[in-house]
Amino acid sequence: MLNHESKREEFAVSGEIKRIFDALLSNASIEKKLDFIKKDHDYILNEQKEICAISAPTFREQMRSESYLRRFADLGLEDAEIDSIGNVLGYIRGNGNGPKLVVAAHLDTVFPEGTDTDVTEKDGKFYAPGIADDTRGLVELLSIIRALKEDNIQLLGDIVFCGTVGEEGLGNLRGVKKLFSDHKDIDGFISIDGTGVGTITYLATGSHRYKVTYEGPGGHSYNNFGLPSAIHAAGRFIASISDLRPPKEPKTTFTVGTIHGGTSVNAIAAKAEMLIDIRSNSESELLKLETEILTLLKAATDKENEHWNNGQVTANIELLGDRPAGSQSSKNPIVQAAYAAGQFLGIESQLSPPSSTDANIPISLGVPAIAIGRGGTSGGIHTKDEWFDPENAFMGPQRTLLVILSLVGVRGVNIPLLKKISSKQ
């Protein structure tokens, strides 16, 4: 997940939602579940260390998926399985009359295979690549399952618990894309992912990522001078893209992130490759900028060939990543529920700027969705110096549990805040 500075907004929770949380927190069974999560604190810290030690680079999450499936099965989730892409799924079903909510955390990390992910502890903090992002989300999800199983209450809606694959980098959100491709009846989605227990991400930054490969005849820099160069074609493109001025609002950006090619100082380059990242908080602006960039890519090839009167340079353009942008109102019940749950627990809630998370997919599809911050504090995310401070970390799963119960409904306590897909059509 790409972490941003959270911005504060004036935010008013509706009276209806306040009444629902009053009812939830006045219920003895739910109070016991919150207390259970607090007492589960030390247990899930041990789980966090165990899961962190299991290597799970994007596209190579199998070992962690298998371990997570065993934990689902041990907790008695119904129909626990690994799907065809590697997501781990398990169910707690309601009485059949409520909505279906997915609660997810991602299995993959940004670190390559062979990275030492064993956890060390110093001055009360835990250190290891991936100790927070998103290992902490995974264990908070397990603690919530245990709390729900500890003292049975009758849910009205169904909860699908999910460890997703491919959230990071070029994983391209493949796990959650598969989930929504296979399940058309999902009414809401929560991703436990984000630094800071109070954060609520409800807007989605979209991105398209390209690999561009220029190829030409190559040759000796002196003897074959006059042949087009793959690197020169790439240079023409980079010069032209540098003049683009996308809008500041909605924020829209681009970069050529890497470039390499050629064989030696005295050779006309036969090949040059580069990676391009395009982002926007608006899907329409993302597509508009993408069209401009693709036009400039072709023009750079044409100009290099025309300059030398030789048509041998070509450009192969490969789409590597497609994360859709999307938005929803901050008045959406799922956003209000997350904010209210924090308020009732004494957590300072914050509506975060748009970001790129598993929630991008449901938000882009019009399904209510948020990414909700993990408990505890953390830093060094996506570096080998990543750390996690567990002080009061139990407040993360406590808040998420309350959000879940408000959304799916509890018999005799509250009606579901989520609306079923069938009732929306």
**Domain-terminating residue out of 272, 295, 323:** 323
Distance between CA atoms of residues 397 and 372, nearest Å? 10
Instruction: Report the number of distinct structural domains present in the chain.
Output: 2
Return the SS3 of 246.
Answer: coil
Q: What is the DSSP letter of 383?
A: S
In a domain? residue 2: no
In a domain? residue 6: no
Residues 75 and 193 in one domain: yes
Residues 140 and 93 in one domain: yes
Residues 251 and 269 in one domain: yes
Q: The domain spanning residue 341 has which CATH number?
A: 3.40.630.10
Return the SS3 of 80.
Answer: strand
In a domain? residue 138: yes
**Domain-terminating residue out of 290, 323, 356:** 323
Return the SS3 of 112.
Answer: coil
Residues 147 and 173 in one domain: yes
Closest by Cα among 90, 88, 232 to 148: 90
**Domain-terminating residue out of 305, 323, 341:** 323
Distance between CA atoms of residues 390 and 395, nearest Å? 10
Residues 252 and 168 in one domain: no
In a domain? residue 7: no
Residues 315 and 331 in one domain: no
Closest by Cα among 386, 413, 342, 369 to 162: 369
Closest by Cα among 2, 12, 4 to 352: 4
- Are the beta carbons of 387 and 219 closer than 8 angstroms? no
Query: What is the reported pLDDT for 223?
Result: 97
In a domain? residue 4: no
pLDDT along the chain (425 residues), means of 10: 43 92 96 97 97 97 98 97 98 93 98 96 96 98 96 92 96 97 97 94 97 97 96 97 95 97 96 98 97 97 95 96 96 96 94 96 97 96 96 97 98 95 62
Residues 184 and 108 in one domain: yes
User: 134 preceded by cis ω (within 30°)?
Assistant: yes
Distance between CA atoms of residues 295 and 277, nearest Å? 16
Residues 63 and 164 in one domain: yes
Query: What is the reported pLDDT for 152?
Result: 76
70 phi/psi in degrees, rounded to 5: -60, -40
Query: What is the reported pLDDT for 96?
Result: 85
Query: What is the reported pLDDT for 7?
Result: 43
The boundaries of the domain holding residue 200 are 15-204+326-424
Residues 185 and 212 in one domain: no
> Helix 62-74 to helix 135-150 angle, to the nearest 10 degrees?
10
Q: The domain spanning residue 286 has which CATH number?
A: 3.30.70.360
In a domain? residue 376: yes
- Are the beta carbons of 173 and 320 closer than 8 angstroms? no
Residues 193 and 211 in one domain: no
Q: How far is CA 251 from CA 125, 204, 205, 254, 279, in A?
A: 36, 12, 9, 11, 8
Sort residue 67 into left (φ over 0), alpha (ψ -120 to 50) or beta.
alpha
Task: Compute the C-alpha angle 35/52/200, nearest 5°.
Answer: 55
Q: Which contacts qualify for 150-154: CB closer than 8 Å, 24 or more apart?
A: 150/32, 150/33, 150/36, 151/29, 151/32, 151/33, 151/36, 153/29, 153/30, 153/33, 153/410, 153/411, 153/413, 154/94, 154/95, 154/410, 154/411, 154/412
In a domain? residue 10: no
Residues 389 and 405 in one domain: yes
- Are the beta carbons of 369 and 380 closer than 8 angstroms? no
Distance between CA atoms of residues 214 and 230, nearest Å? 5
Query: What is the reported pLDDT for 422?
Result: 61
Residues 35 and 143 in one domain: yes
Distance between CA atoms of residues 225 and 247, nearest Å? 41
Reported pTM: 0.92
In a domain? residue 225: yes
DSSP labels, 22-37 = HHHHT-HHHHHHHHHH
97 phi/psi in degrees, rounded to 5: -110, 0
Closest by Cα among 112, 224, 186, 233 to 358: 186
